[in-house]
Copies of this chain bind each other. A is one copy, B any other.
């Protein structure tokens, strides 16, 4: 009991972390200091927030550590607004009960704790799941995170985990952490914009924080803030189009995916088996939580440095391509209409001596692990954004915003076919180029960066 007090009582002196995006992160309770000091949270310093985007936007080298602090800070500011303007004591069910602050802020801080290196690709290859791992880290008695949380109360870890899982009974808390316009997204749009150096992510955060309010069913926005919310949606759309779905980052992603795929084959088939270091439990599918917590970006790249000098030419080549940023290059295509052309192109690449299992790939940006605003789609995340009139009436955002309506319910993104660079790049040193007939024929199928439909192609050639 006295322990609990020491964790959740206000610190006599507020502690701050200097943050380039939010100026200061304010820590006002020992609970959060202790969570930040755990080894599981510190590990997030060694995992980059944007994975392969750093290869397109060289400034984007920030970690999940700084993002997690940012989500905490935005949630904290919202709690402060809520308790000042809409306390449950006055607003009942539409108000905010400030005793929820601790579970909300803990979930904010820990929501990405289960992420590993290059999550998207890693999860695909090794069938891990960062959300399930987040929950495990919170619930496992062996973790330092759990040991801090359980000091608050014996059911506190469960509560925090249930916010992540979106089963926590108070929808306000759940939506602060996971909804179309939550603290997570608000931080990453601004942070990723800051570090990449683009300004598409710069929606008006202070205005959003002025108009956000608790409601009976979760969170809502005062009607006068409609354009600020609209602007946030457009910012998000722009960040997806211009940053998260960038073709070169995806090129690095498919290169990584091909590399790990090759490693997996060699591990099981080569003799002697491929050395894989700290990754071994993942190749053997016997990993423990502790094995997982030993992983970070550096563990992967260290392995790749070893593999660079491995005798398998494909493994070493792909390792070098990833380490030295020599991604596969891409053209757009339509998976429904362009199958014949794709087949032909694969043959050409194969004829040029490439193993197309490792040197070509398909990638579409739809199945990237980001959810864009699609209120019609089913799924737990897809709460709609609601605006509230002074009298309390609610209206859904896309009903009153033409701009949001134009974006809602539509898939954005594209499908791309990745191939070795020489098939697509025109060299400036004409005399050095091996401009052989295969490449020449290949290029007959391409126009404006897109595979030509067959009819057009025939006419052209």
Any chain B CB within 8 A of the CB of A2? yes
Shortest CB distance A60–B (Å): 9
Residues of chain B contacted by A299 (CB below 8 angstroms) = 298, 302, 305
Any chain B CB within 8 A of the CB of A269? no
> A294: which of B21, B296, B305, B403 is its contact (CB, 8 Å)?
B305
How far is A403 from B412 in the complex, measured between Cα atoms in Å? 12
Flag A203-240 by CB within 8 Å of B: 1 or 0 each: 11011001000000000000100011011001001100
A402 touches B410 (CB 8 A): yes
Q: Nearest B residue to A55 by beta-carbon distance?
A: B45
Instruction: Find the residue from A19, A206, A302, A393 having the highest chain B CB count within 10 A.
Output: A302
Residues of chain B contacted by A242 (CB below 8 angstroms) = 227-228
Flag A314-346 by CB within 8 Å of B: 1 or 0 each: 000000100111100000000000000000000
Any chain B CB within 8 A of the CB of A30? yes
B403 touches A405 (CB 8 A): no
Interface locus among A61-69, A364-372, A374-382: A61-69
Q: Report the interface size for chain A: residues with CB under 8 A from the other chain.
A: 91
Q: A58-B69, A305-B299 are in contact. Are A448 and B390 (CB under 8 A)?
A: yes
A39 touches B320 (CB 8 A): yes
How far is A12 from B65 in the complex, measured between Cα atoms in Å? 37
Q: Nearest B residue to A303 by beta-carbon distance?
A: B302
Q: A58-B45, A197-B23, A241-B227 are in contact. Are A14 and B403 (CB under 8 A)?
A: no
By secondary structure, the A interface counts as: helix
Flag A434-455 by CB within 8 Å of B: 1 or 0 each: 0000000000000110000000
A448 touches B405 (CB 8 A): no
Shortest CB distance A58–B (Å): 5
Between A and B, 23 residue pairs with Cβ closer than 8 Å are A3-B429, A12-B428, A18-B58, A20-B59, A20-B194, A20-B196, A21-B59, A37-B324, A42-B323, A61-B61, A200-B227, A227-B241, A234-B234, A234-B403, A237-B403, A277-B302, A294-B305, A296-B298, A297-B298, A298-B298, A299-B305, A403-B403, A403-B407
List residues of A whose CB falls within 8 A of some B CB. 2-3, 6, 11-14, 16-21, 23-24, 30, 37-39, 42-43, 45-46, 54-55, 57-59, 61-63, 65-66, 69, 84-85, 194-200, 202-204, 206-207, 210, 223, 227-228, 230-231, 234, 237-238, 241-242, 277-278, 294, 296-302, 305-306, 320, 323-326, 389-391, 393, 402-403, 405-407, 410, 428-429, 431, 447-448
CB-CB nearest 3 A-B residue pairs:
A298-B298, A406-B406, A20-B197
